[in-house]
Amino acid sequence: MTSQVVGIDIGGTGIKGAIVDVKSGVLLSDRVKLPTPEGGEPEAIVATVIELLGKLGGLDKKASIGVCFPAAIVDGKTLSAANVSKKWIGLEAEKLFENALSRDIHFVNDADAAGIAEQRYGAAKDEQGLVIMTTLGTGIGTALLHRGHLIPNAELGHLEIDGVDWESKASFAAKERESLSFSDWAERLQRYYERLEAYFYPKLFIVGGGVSKHSEKFLPLLKLTTPIVPAELRNNAGILGAAALAVGD
Ligand code: BGC
């Protein structure tokens, strides 16, 4: 078997990928990023992933590939579609990628991949209690991790507050859409994380997504009982987790 492993992170806005050293959790190539095609349709996304793989310098034809995607995924099938085309709902997505790329693919939820990466290489490495990984991007992704185990497909970004799917109010995309200041946005995040605390009593919250690199602008504004820290792997967590899962460890 080849030792090369690639992680691909498909998001509502961009598709990123890199060759990864899954032992150390380090990127072995530049990170390539392409915009998610308008409408987020399955065939167009597959074509973009193929284009992205072509841009990864020195890629072995037989490299193992793990793909993470913003939907609930059970047995390789996408069961939801929040920020991509509704055509994904009920689609045999893993098979679609396997056929297009002529190899076995491991296909997982994006927040689950990010959580696995933080547990293995990052901020959750030494935590034995319940960890809730949250990604603040186009949507809000969540992963539940406990003692090395992942409870897959926790779709807690869609938790309703005041009868509203809170992802539509508190994702980073919502902050941008409504031109919210960090302090206005933090008020919405406060309500969100408070609710998670009340339901789960976690030991640690981790905050990922591109905006986590500016965590000093909003995390100190949150008043929570649970420690809340930025993702150590920043925006590479999805790539790293997808790659780690592709080789089954
Ligand atoms: C989706 C999740 C995904 C999250 C982050 C949500 O809208 O429902 O599956 O993990 O966005 O991309």
Say which residues have a Cβ less than 8 Å from residue 125's Cβ, sequence separation at least 6.
Answer: 118, 119
Distance CA 34, CA 16 (A): 7
**131, 145 in Cβ contact below 8 A?**
yes
Domains of the chain: 5-112+236-246 (3.30.420.40), 125-231 (3.30.420.40)
- How far is ligand 1, taken at its centre, from the CA of residue 157, in Å? 7
- Dist CA 217 CA 163 (whole Å): 28
| Ligand 1 atom nearest to 72, measured from its CA | 9
Specify whether the CB–CB gap between 166 and 192 falls below 8 A.
Answer: yes
Q: Which of 73, 136, 140, 169 to mutate to test the pocket of ligand 1 (most atoms within 8 A of CB)?
A: 140
**Nearest CA, atom 12, ligand 1:** 70
* Residue 146: per-residue pLDDT: 96
Residue given tokens 């997505």 in the structure block: 93
User: In angstroms, what CA-CA distances link 170 with 69, 89, 207?
Assistant: 20, 24, 13
Q: pLDDT tens, 55-103?
A: 998 888 889 999 999 999 999 999 999 999 999 999 999 999 999 999 9
1 pLDDT more than 80: no
Distance in angstroms (rounded) separating the CA atoms of residues 9 and 21: 16
Q: Which residues pair with 74 in a beta bridge?
A: 77
State in Å, rounded, how far the first CA of the chain is from the last one.
15
For ligand 1, pick from 9, 84, 155 the residue to mutate: most ligand atoms within 8 Å of CB. Answer: 155
